[in-house]
Chains A and B, each alone.
Chain A
Amino acid sequence: MSDVTPQPADRKERGPLVAWGRMPPVAWVVLLLIAFFGVTAPGFFTAGNFLNIMLQGSVLLIMSIAATLVILTEGIDLSLGSVLTLAGVTAVLALQAGLSVPTALLVGVLTGVACGAVTGLLITAGKLPPFIATLGMMGIAAGLALVLTRQGAIYSDVPAFVFLGGGTLGFIPMPTVIAALVFLLGWIALYQTDFGRYIISIGGNETGTRLSGVNTAWWKLLTYVVAGALAALGGVIMAARLRAADPIVGNGWEFDAIAATILGGTSFEKGNGTLGGTVLGVLLISVLRNGLNVIGVGAMWQPALIGLVIIAAIVFDVMLKQREVIR
Chain B
Amino acid sequence: MTTATVATSCGWHLDPRILYTGSRLLVLGLLCAVLTIASPVFLTTTNVLNILRVASLLVILAIGQTVVILTAGIDLSIGSVLTFSSAIAALALKAGIPLPLAVAAGLVVGAALGFLNGLMVAIVKLPPFIATYGMMWVAAGFAVVLLKGHVVYGFDEDFRFLGVGNVMGVPMPIVLMVAMWVPSYLLLRHTTFGRSLYAVGANQEAARLSGIKKDQILMLAYTLSGLLAAAAGLVFVARLNASEAGMGANLLLPAIAAVVIGGTSLFGGEGGIVGTLIGALIMTIVQNGMNLLGIESVWQGVVLGALIIVAVLVDQWARKASASENA
Contacts of B148 in A (CB 8 A): 300
Chain A residue at minimum C-beta to C-beta distance from B141: A304
Contacts of B302 in A (CB 8 A): 139-140, 143-144, 147
With contacts A139-B253, A311-B138, A319-B124 taken as known, whether A132 is within 8 angstroms of B301 at the C-beta atoms is: no
Contacts of A308 in B (CB 8 A): 138, 141
CB-contact partner of A315 in B124, B133, B300, under 8 A = B124
Are B309 and A318 touching (Cβ within 8 A)? Answer: no
Are B306 and A129 touching (Cβ within 8 A)? Answer: no
Contacts of A146 in B (CB 8 A): 298, 301
Are B299 and A147 touching (Cβ within 8 A)? Answer: yes
B88-131 CB contacts (< 8 Å) to partner A: 120, 124-127, 129-130
Contacts of A310 in B (CB 8 A): 134
Given contacts A136-B309, A301-B145, 9 further A-B contacts (CB under 8 A): A138-B305, A140-B301, A142-B305, A143-B301, A143-B305, A144-B302, A259-B134, A311-B134, A318-B125
CB-contact partner of B120 in A132, A140, A300, A315, under 8 A = A315
Are B316 and A128 touching (Cβ within 8 A)? Answer: yes
Contacts of A252 in B (CB 8 A): 137
Are A258 and B130 touching (Cβ within 8 A)? Answer: yes
- 10 A-B interface contacts by CB (under 8 A): A129-B266, A132-B309, A135-B308, A139-B308, A143-B302, A300-B148, A304-B142, A310-B134, A315-B124, A315-B126
Are A131 and B124 touching (Cβ within 8 A)? Answer: no
B123-182 CB contacts (< 8 Å) to partner A: 124-127, 129-130, 133-138, 140-142, 144-145, 148-149
A128 vs B129: C-alpha distance in the bound complex, in angstroms? 15
Contacts of B76 in A (CB 8 A): 135
A315 vs B302: C-alpha distance in the bound complex, in angstroms? 34
Contacts of B300 in A (CB 8 A): 143
Instruction: Render A228-253 as a binary contact track against B, CB cut-off 8 A, 1 for contact.
Output: 00000000000000000000000010
Are B129 and A76 touching (Cβ within 8 A)? Answer: yes
Chain B residue at minimum C-beta to C-beta distance from A262: B130
Are B140 and A303 touching (Cβ within 8 A)? Answer: yes
Would you call B256 an interface residue if the criterion is a C-beta within 8 Å of the partner chain's C-beta atoms? yes
A73 vs B138: C-alpha distance in the bound complex, in angstroms? 27
A252 vs B267: C-alpha distance in the bound complex, in angstroms? 26
Instruction: Render B259-284 as a binary contact track against A, CB cut-off 8 A, 1 for contact.
Output: 01000001100000000000000000
Q: How large is the interface on B (under 10, 10 to 19, 20 to 34, 35 or more residues)?
A: 35 or more
Among B74, B136, B145, B296, chain A packs the most CB atoms within 10 A around the CB of B145
A292-327 CB contacts (< 8 Å) to partner B: 300-308, 310-311, 314-315, 318-319, 322
The prevalent SS among residues of A at the interface is helix
Would you call A137 an interface residue if the criterion is a C-beta within 8 Å of the partner chain's C-beta atoms? yes
Are B308 and A311 touching (Cβ within 8 A)? Answer: no
Contacts of B251 in A (CB 8 A): none
Are B298 and A128 touching (Cβ within 8 A)? Answer: no
Chain B residue at minimum C-beta to C-beta distance from A310: B134
Would you call A268 an interface residue if the criterion is a C-beta within 8 Å of the partner chain's C-beta atoms? yes
CB-contact partner of A303 in B141, B253, B266, under 8 A = B141
A262 vs B145: C-alpha distance in the bound complex, in angstroms? 26
Chain A residue at minimum C-beta to C-beta distance from B310: A136
Minimum CB–CB distance from A165 to chain B (whole Å) comes to 25
Contacts of B141 in A (CB 8 A): 301-308
CB-contact partner of A143 in B137, B303, B316, under 8 A = B303
A311 vs B135: C-alpha distance in the bound complex, in angstroms? 8
A143 vs B297: C-alpha distance in the bound complex, in angstroms? 10
Would you call A187 an interface residue if the criterion is a C-beta within 8 Å of the partner chain's C-beta atoms? no
Instruction: Render B290-319 as a binary contact track against A, CB cut-off 8 A, 1 for contact.
Output: 000000101111111110110011001000
Minimum CB–CB distance from B124 to chain A (whole Å) comes to 5
Chain B residue at minimum C-beta to C-beta distance from A122: B309
A69-85 CB contacts (< 8 Å) to partner B: 76, 78
A122 vs B145: C-alpha distance in the bound complex, in angstroms? 38
Are A268 and B144 touching (Cβ within 8 A)? Answer: no
Chain B residue at minimum C-beta to C-beta distance from A259: B134
CB-contact partner of A136 in B134, B145, B296, B305, under 8 A = B305
Chain B residue at minimum C-beta to C-beta distance from A141: B305
Chain A residue at minimum C-beta to C-beta distance from B148: A300
Contacts of A142 in B (CB 8 A): 301, 305
Are B134 and A322 touching (Cβ within 8 A)? Answer: no
CB-contact partner of B256 in A135, A268, A302, under 8 A = A135
Are A143 and B74 touching (Cβ within 8 A)? Answer: no
Would you call A151 an interface residue if the criterion is a C-beta within 8 Å of the partner chain's C-beta atoms? yes
Would you call A126 an interface residue if the criterion is a C-beta within 8 Å of the partner chain's C-beta atoms? yes
Would you call A174 an interface residue if the criterion is a C-beta within 8 Å of the partner chain's C-beta atoms? no
A143 vs B74: C-alpha distance in the bound complex, in angstroms? 22
A281 vs B124: C-alpha distance in the bound complex, in angstroms? 21
A143 vs B76: C-alpha distance in the bound complex, in angstroms? 18
CB-contact partner of B124 in A138, A302, A318, under 8 A = A318
Would you call A133 an interface residue if the criterion is a C-beta within 8 Å of the partner chain's C-beta atoms? yes
Contacts of A195 in B (CB 8 A): none
Among A135, A138, A144, A302, chain B packs the most CB atoms within 10 A around the CB of A135
A237 vs B312: C-alpha distance in the bound complex, in angstroms? 34
Chain A residue at minimum C-beta to C-beta distance from B116: A311
A258-313 CB contacts (< 8 Å) to partner B: 258-259, 262, 268, 300-308, 310-311
Are A143 and B313 touching (Cβ within 8 A)? Answer: no
Would you call A210 an interface residue if the criterion is a C-beta within 8 Å of the partner chain's C-beta atoms? no
Minimum CB–CB distance from B83 to chain A (whole Å) comes to 13
Would you call A155 an interface residue if the criterion is a C-beta within 8 Å of the partner chain's C-beta atoms? no
Chain B residue at minimum C-beta to C-beta distance from A146: B298
Chain B residue at minimum C-beta to C-beta distance from A79: B305
Are A127 and B145 touching (Cβ within 8 A)? Answer: no
Minimum CB–CB distance from B100 to chain A (whole Å) comes to 29
Chain B residue at minimum C-beta to C-beta distance from A126: B313
Are A132 and B266 touching (Cβ within 8 A)? Answer: yes
Are B74 and A307 touching (Cβ within 8 A)? Answer: no
Are A304 and B145 touching (Cβ within 8 A)? Answer: yes
Contacts of B303 in A (CB 8 A): 143
Closest 9 CB pairs of A and B: A143-B301, A139-B305, A304-B141, A143-B302, A303-B141, A140-B305, A136-B309, A307-B138, A311-B134
